Structure 1
Amino acid sequence: MPSSISESLNGRLAALHTERVATWAPEDLAVNVNQRQLLTETIDRASIVKPGDVVETFSLLDVEGGTLSLEELVASGPVVLVFFRFAGCPACNIALPYYEQHLARPLSELGVRLVAVSPQIPERLVDIKRVRGLSFDVASDQDANLARRFNILYTFDEASQTAALAKGKPIGDITGTGTWELPMPAVVVIDEDRIVRFADVSPDWLERTEAEAIVDVVARLVADRKLAAQG
């Protein structure tokens, strides 16, 4: 586990922001900062996915082929879903490799599946798994159905849309979805009874759930299940 702030996930994301402050044009930086601030100020935490929610069945498209159903994912224990924006997202390219380093192995040792989820179409989403050498599942949430159900989608604000169009890069073209929607980064842990046991949603995509917090939650779930099984 990380032993200092500089080694933490959020430390690395903070360094990304510091680099942008030093290198980006002020107007470009303002668009990015203002969008993240707006999401932070307007998120309705009462309406988003939360512990205790019962999750109806769903199916995700594995980027390497086939589908991943909820029933399959929780067949032998909890599943950890990590929602991220898209394969080319710089912050996601920090977060997912970090989870590979600090989260994938502890969860595997607990017998728990880890799945990274984005609405980006599979043929474009597969790049982040292959380029970053991710050992865990990466899956496409077709039409953002699950993210929409969890109420963690956001739409680019007007300034962000204008900036993207000026660069000729509408996000819908990049993701292949044709929309201005992306999920807010989130970690959702669902147990064998299809109940959400942990949910952490980050409207500011430069703030994300640390691996240690996820491992702690899952380890307690697994331990409680073992005690219950022993009677």
Structure 2
Amino acid sequence: MSHLPPSLQSRYDILEAERRKTWSPEALAANIAQREILVKEQPGTTHVETGDVLMPHNLTDARGRITSLDDLVSGGLAVLVFFRFASCPACNIALPYYAETLAPTIKEANIPLIAISSQPFPELDTIRTRNDLPFPVLNDPGLSLSRALGITYVFDDIARQTALSKSSSSETLNGTAHWELPKPTVLILALGRIVRFIDISPDWMRRTETPVILKALGLKDKGVSHAA
């Protein structure tokens, strides 16, 4: 019997259990409350849907080189994974998970995988180097694409104060004066910037599993992420 890597959610369950042991009740409650609010509000938000055509947008890499959405889909399809910021613990679980379970399969199909955050470089690139990610990590300057997709959220007061207490700022997280981040999102884009699939995760501790992405791509699910 072959060994299957654990699912993304099972990895988050371990992190959640650890936080319940080590975090103060106040910090844990604040974190959970923000996520619950975002989940509750999500049905009332406006965001792009399958079949929509995106306007042109440019992304940048750590060297300042520009990549357009049209560049990404020049071969047909591309998988775009939006995440919060480089030091986000949940993001440091999600991107290695996709590297392990998704990247090899879609590479065989010549479909690029790109991780995207609004956090500026050079800090943004630390998540790629720390996890030895086999796919590019690009910057969405000024949250331009994230806002156009309708996937951003605004920090509540407690989350903002928590970030400030850790000497963080909105500029270090997204390069703007606004306390705003993208909700973790998986977007499959087709030639012509047509949205083939979008899955938005308002709770950043519950994100899109690899089998869901492979199914949307029409690729065979090899069962790499079903194990609990």
Residues 45 and 150, structure 2, Cα contact 8 Å, conserved in 1: no
* Amino acid aligned to 2:139: S
Aligned partner of 1:97 in structure 2 is 96
SS in 1 for 2:132: coil
Higher share in helix? 1
Unaligned runs of 5+ in 2: 220-228
Say yes or no: does 1:172 pair with 2:160. no
Residues 57 and 71, structure 1, Cα contact 8 Å, conserved in 2: yes
Residues 191-200 or 79-88, more deviating: 191-200
* Amino acid aligned to 1:107: I
CA-CA distance at 1:213 after TM superposition: 1.3
What CA RMSD, in Å, does the superposition of the two structures yield over aligned residues? Answer: 2.0
Distance 1:212 1:27, change over 3 A: same
CA-CA distance at 1:165 after TM superposition: 2.4
CA distance, structure 2, for counterparts of residue 45 and residue 78 of structure 1: 29
TM-score (norm: length of structure 1)? 0.89
CA-CA distance at 1:24 after TM superposition: 0.2
Aligned partner of 2:144 in structure 1 is 145
Residues 140-149 or 63-72, more deviating: 63-72
Equivalent runs, 1:50-199 vs 2, <5 Å = 50-199=49-198
Number of equivalences: 219
CA distance, structure 1, for counterparts of residue 117 and residue 45 of structure 2: 23
Distance 1:75 1:32, change over 3 A: same
Residues 118 and 183, structure 1, Cα contact 8 Å, conserved in 2: yes
Runs of 4+ in 1 over 6 A off after TM superposition: none
Residues 200-209 or 173-182, more deviating: 173-182
Unaligned runs of 5+ in 1: 221-231
CA-CA distance at 1:43 after TM superposition: 1.5
TM-score (norm: length of structure 2)? 0.90
Aligned-pair identity in percent equals 42
CA offset digits 1:177-209 (Å, max 9, x no partner): 343111000001011132111100000000000
* Amino acid aligned to 1:69: S
